[in-house]
Amino acid sequence: MPGATGGQGSGGARVGTEGDSAGALRAVRSLVELEETEQAAQLYEEMGAAQRERLQQQAARRPAKERRGFVEVLRRARDFLGAARLMDGSGDDATAADLYLQSGQYLEAAEAWLRAGEAERAAAAFERAGALERALEVYRKLGARESMAQCLARLKRPFDAADVYRDLGQPHAEVEVLGGVTPEDPRYVEAVLRMCRLLDVEGFTHRALAVLVDAMTSSDVARAESSMVTEKARLLRRMGMDAEAEAVLGRRSTPSTMPVANGYRFLKAIPIFSELSLEDMKDLYRQARQVVIAQGAVVLEKGDPGVGLLVLLEGTVDVFSGPEADARHLNTLGPGAYLGEISLVQDATVSAHVRARTSVRALRISRAAFEHYLDTHEAAALRIYRLFTQNLAARVRALSA
C-alpha cells in the first residue's frame, strides 16, 4: 500500500543515515587504531555537518585514550572546536585551551586555562573575549598591575587606572588615561588639574597650559572653578609670563598656547601602527615606558637579541655598522625616529650599533608587553601583522631591484 511503502521508505532512510554514521565512526576508529590519522581526517572532512556532529557525540563516549585519537583526527581536519570539546574533561585542560583558542572561543579557552593553572594566559583570553571584569579579577590575584591598569582603562574607570599607573611610575600613561575623563564627569576638574601637574613635572608645561585652556573653553564648570584659574596663573609664571599670570588672576583674558609634540604622535606615525583604531592606539601607548639614556651610553648592541621598540622623544643617537672604533657611521637619528620595530614581531638580532650622542629621552615598548597587547587586541594584531608583511615584502623587492 502507498502509505505503508512511504513509511518503510522514511524509516529505511532514517536507519540508513544512522547506519552511515555508525559505519563512518567504525571506519574512523579503524583508521585511528591503524594510526592512519591523515586518512581518518580526510574521511571526517568529507562528512556532512550533521554526520560530523553525531560522530563527535559518539566519540565523546569512548575511553579517554581512544578519544585522544579522535582529537588528533579533528585537529588535522581543522575542526578545532570539535577537538576542544572532545578534550573537555580529559584532564588535559591546557590542550583543550589551545584548541579553543584556535577556534576563536576565547571564553572557553580562558576557563580551560584557569583549570590548567595558567592564570596569566586565562586573563589574556578573558580580555581578548571582552570579559574585562573577569580578566581584571585574575590580573588582581596575579598582582599583574600593568595589565590591571589596561583593563581598568578599557572598563572606563580612568581614575582607578590612573592610580595604578601612578604607583607604577608611568606618568605618560597616567596622563593618557585621565584624558579620557569627559566634561560631564563630576570629577572632570580634578582630572584636568592632575594632568596639568603631571605634564608640568615632566617638562611639558606648554602642553599642560594647552590642556587647561581647552578644558576651560569647553566646560562652564571648569571655567568657573577658582582652582583652574589659579593653576593657569601658576603655569604662566612657570613659563616666565608673570604679566599674563597677573592678568588671569585679575580675570583678564590671555592668549592660548599650542601643545607641543609628544610620544603618542611619534608612536602613531610608525607605519605598522598606521591602521590602528583610536582606542587600540591609546592602549598601545599605555604599554610604553619612558626611559632616559645618558650621553655616550650604548642604546643597542649589534648582535644582541632584539628587546623591543624604542621611539626617540628628545636627543639624538648615532648608528654605526658595529661597535669597533673604526666602524662606519651610518646615520644620526633624532626625535620621532624609532629603532627595533622588527624585534616586536619576530626573533631577530640587532643589525647595527647605536650609541647616544646626547642625553636621550625615549619611549620603550618591550617584546613581552607587545606580545601581551597582541594577545588581547585581535583586530589590532591582524592589522599590524598585515602591514609588517607588506613592508617586509616592499623591502625585499627593493633589494631585488
**CA dist., res. 168 & res. 175, Å (int):** 13
Report strand pairing: 353-356 vs 360-366.
unpaired
State the CB neighbour count (10 A cutoff) for residue 100: 27
Non-local (6+) Cβ contacts of 208 within 8 A are: 195, 196, 197, 199, 200, 235
| Residues 253-292 pLDDT 10s | 444 443 334 688 899 999 999 899 999 999 999 899 888 8
Domains of the chain in sequence order? 2-105 (no CATH), 146-249 (1.25.40.10), 263-400 (2.60.120.10)
SS3 category, 399 = helix
3-state secondary structure of 310: strand
Contact partners, residue 384, CB within 8 Å, separation at least 6: 272, 273, 276, 345, 374
Per-residue model confidence as pLDDT tens digits over 85-103: 988 877 889 999 999 999 9
Mean local confidence (pLDDT), 35-64: 82
Place of cell 581578548: 128
> Amino acid identity, residue 130?
G
Q: Which of 144-148, 247-251, 327-331, 350-354 has the lowest mean pLDDT?
A: 247-251
Rg (CA), the chain: 30
Query: Measured between alpha carbons, how far is 204 from 123 in angstroms, rounded to an integer?
Result: 36
**In the predicted model, what is the mean pLDDT of the chain?**
85
Helix and strand numbers (H, E) in the chain are 22, 8
Q: Give the C-alpha separation, 165 to 290, whole Å.
A: 12
DSSP state of 284: H
Residue 399 has pLDDT above 60, yes or no: yes
Task: Identify which of 287, 283, 277, 273 has the alpha carbon closest to the alpha carbon of residue 155.
Answer: 283
Neighbours of 120 (CB within 10 A): 15
For residue range 300-310, list pLDDT tens digits in order. Answer: 998 888 889 99
Q: Which helix (H) or strand (E) holds 308?
A: strand 308-314
pLDDT number for residue 110:
95
Q: How far apart are CA 401 and CA 395, in angstroms?
A: 10
Query: Any bridge partners for residue 360, and if so which?
Result: 293
Q: Look at residue 19 and tell me whether its pLDDT is greater than 60.
A: no
Per-residue pLDDT band for 251 (boundaries 50, 70, 90) equals low
**Beta strand pairing call for 329-333 and 317-320:** antiparallel
What is the spatial distance between Cα 181 and Cα 153, in angstroms, rounded to a whole number?
A: 11
- Cβ 258 vs Cβ 210: under 8 Å: yes
Residue 363: all three cell numbers together: 619611549
What pLDDT, on a 0 to 100 scale, did the predictor assign at position 33? Answer: 67
DSSP 305: B
CA pair distance 352, 331, nearest whole angstrom: 10
User: Comparing 241 with 24, which gets the higher pLDDT?
Assistant: 241
Instruction: Find the length of the chain.
Output: 401
The four Cα atoms 38, 40, 43, 49 give a dihedral, to 10 degrees, of: -110
